[in-house]
Amino acid sequence: MEGMSSVYATSDGKFLIQGDVIRLGGDKLSSIGDKIQAAENKKYLADLNIKDLLVYPAQVKSRLKVLKYVISHGHVVNNLYRRWKVSGVVQTVVLHLIKPLLVLRFHLQVCDVKPVRLAILGLGTVGGGALKLLQENAAEIRRRTGREIEITHVGTRRPRPDLNLPASIKQSADLLDIVRQPDVDVVVEVMGGIHPAYEVMMEAIKHGKQVVTANKALLAEHGNELFKAADDHHVQVAFEAAVAGGIPIIKVIREGLAANKIEWLAGIINGTGNFILTEMSEKGRAFADVLKEAQELGYAEADPTFDVEGIDAAHKLTILASCAFGIPLQFDKVYTEGITKITAQDVKYAEELGYKIKHLGIARRSSKGIELRVHPTLIPEEELLANVNGVKNAVLVQANAVGPTLYYGAGAGAGPTASAVVADVVDIVRDIIYTEDGSGTIPQLAFEALSDLHILSSDEMTTGYYLRLNAEDQTGVLADVTTILSRTGISIDAIMQQPRLKDLIPIVILTDPIVESKMNEAIAQIQALPAIHGEIVRIRLELLDN
C-alpha cells in the first residue's frame, strides 16, 4: 500500500520516520500534520480518519508539530492505535503508522521528559523503607518506567537530619500544605491511623494528586468515600501495600485473576498472630508468654489489641473481599474474633486430631450472599496454609477457572511493604505516561460496577466446629451431649475424651459443617447441663477443599 511509514533507529540513537505519509527528513508532511496542528487546542484527534492518513499530502509550517504532539499527547495516538486495531481497520496502517509513532514517543520520553515528583508523608518503618528503595533502585525503576522519579517533599512531625536528605527534598510537618504544592504529582501516604491521614488524602485527591497508601485501617473504614473522590477527580488511590506487605495479592486479584469468578479466599494476614500460634504449637508455650516475646521482638505493638483481637486482619479482609467480589468496603459487617482465648491445651488436642490452629480471614461467596469472617480456625495439617509459620503471610484463592492458587511471603517489615509501595508508584508513573489523565485503566476496586450482594451475619454462616467441654466423671454425660447435638441437626465427625484434669474430664468433639445459629442453640443447651463446668470452647473448622 502506498504511503506507509516506518521508524528507524540511527547509529547515534536518534529516530527517523521515513515514508510518503510522514517525512522528517524532507519538506512535506501528510495532512495528518495539518490535522494535528488544527486539533492541538482540542487535545483530541476525533476528526482524523484513515483517508486523512493515506491521502491529500499537504505542506505544513513545521514538521516538528507532529513530534511535539506525539510527545505531549501520545495517549491520543495510543487510543487511536487501540481503537483502530480492535475495529479491524487496515492493519497495515496500524502497524506502519500509528504503532511507530508510539515507539517514537516512548524513546523521546526516555531522553527528554520531566520527572514525576513525589511527596512521602511519614518516615517511619515503611516510609523510610520506601525512600531508601526509591534511592537505591532509581536506575532500575527508571528503566521500567521510562521516567525519572524525583522526591520533592517529605512530611515528618520533626526534622530528620539522620536521614541525610539532599537539600532539594523539602521537609515539613504541614501535610496539607505539602499535598497542595504544584511540584507534587504523587502523594505516598504511609503515616498510618485514620486521622489526619483521611483529611490529607482527601486534600491530595481534590488537588489532582495520585495517591499511594499502605493504610489498611483508613481504606477499610473510609475507602468508599476516598475511592469516590478519586473517581470524581480522575486520580488513583493505589493500595497494594495495605494487605499482606510484600505479597502482590491486590494485583493478583485485580489483574491476574480478572478472567475468573472468585469463589472464596482464606488467608493468614496478620504476622503477629501467626507467630504466636506457631510458638504455641511448636513449643507448647502459653499465649501470654509468647505475646510478651513478640512485643520484645517488635512483632507486636505495646498495645497489641489490633493484632491479637483480629481487627488488623479484618481491615485487610475487607479490602480483599471488595476486590474479589466487587462489593463496597464493609468493615462493620466482618465477623471478628481474635486469638486471646486459644490455649496450648487446644493447640495440642487439635494436633492429636490431625489439625493445626491458624488465625484466618475468610471471604466466601455462596447462593445466600457473602461471608466475611476473621477467627481462629482448625485446618487439616497437610494443607499448605497449615504449614505457614512464624511471621509469614499467605493467601489461598479459589477461582472457578484456575482453581486454587496460593500466595506466600513476608506480610510486614520495611523492605516487603516498601516494595509494594514503590510498585504502586511505578504503576502510577506508567499510567501518567500512557493514559490521558493518569487515572489508570483498572477500576479502583477491580470492578467498574460494584454489587450490593448480601453480607451474611454470623448466625447465617456455615462451618465445621471444634468443641471442648469440661465434664464431671459420671455416667450419661456424653450421651446427654450427643443427644442435644443430634436433636439440633448437628452431625459428629469425631469425639475424643482426654485424661482427667483435676476433677473434670475434657471432651473434644469435631462436627460436620452446620449453620452457626444451630450451633449456638446446641451450645446453650449443653452449657446448661449440671455436669458441664466452665465455658465451652468453640473453634471453627475449615477443610479448604471447595
Nearest to 392 by CA among 266, 283, 302, 299: 299
Q: Cell 475434657 belongs to which residue?
A: 506
User: What single-letter DSSP state applies at residue 242?
Assistant: G
In whole angstroms, give the CA distance from residue 269 to residue 262: 18
Nearest alpha carbon to residue 384 among 363, 356, 410, 364: 356
Pairing between strand 116-121 and 149-155? parallel
261 flagged as catalytic: no
3-state secondary structure of 35: helix
Coil, strand or helix at 100: helix
CA angle centred on 462, ends 253 and 321, rounded to 5°? 20
- Catalytic residue from among 35, 209, 316, 333: 316
Q: How far apart are CA 165 and CA 91, in angstroms?
A: 51
Helix-strand-coil percent breakdown of the chain, rounded to 5?
45, 25, 35
The answer to whether the beta carbons of residues 409 and 416 sit under 8 Å apart is: yes
The answer to whether the CB of 446 falls within 8 A of the CB of 319 is no
Residues whose CB falls within 8 Å of the CB of residue 278, separated by 6 or more in sequence, listed in order: 389, 390
Rounded to 10°, the helix 138-145/414-434 angle is 30
Do 295 and 331 form a contact (C-beta atoms < 8 A)? Answer: no
What is the three-state SS of 403-471?
EEEEEEEECCCHHHHHHHHHHHHHHHHHHHHHCCCCCCCCCCCCCCCCCCCCECCHHHCEEEEEEEEEE
Give me the helices (H) in 284-391, please.
287-297, 305-308, 311-325, 344-352
Which three-class secondary structure string do you get for 487-527? HCCCCEEEEEECCCECCEEEEEEEEEEEEHHHHHHHHHHHH
The three cell numbers of residue 135 are 534511592
| Separation of alpha carbons 259 and 265, rounded Å | 16
Q: Are 171 and 159 in contact (CB under 8 A)?
A: yes
Separation of alpha carbons 237 and 222, rounded Å? 12
> Among all residues, which ones are annotated catalytic?
316
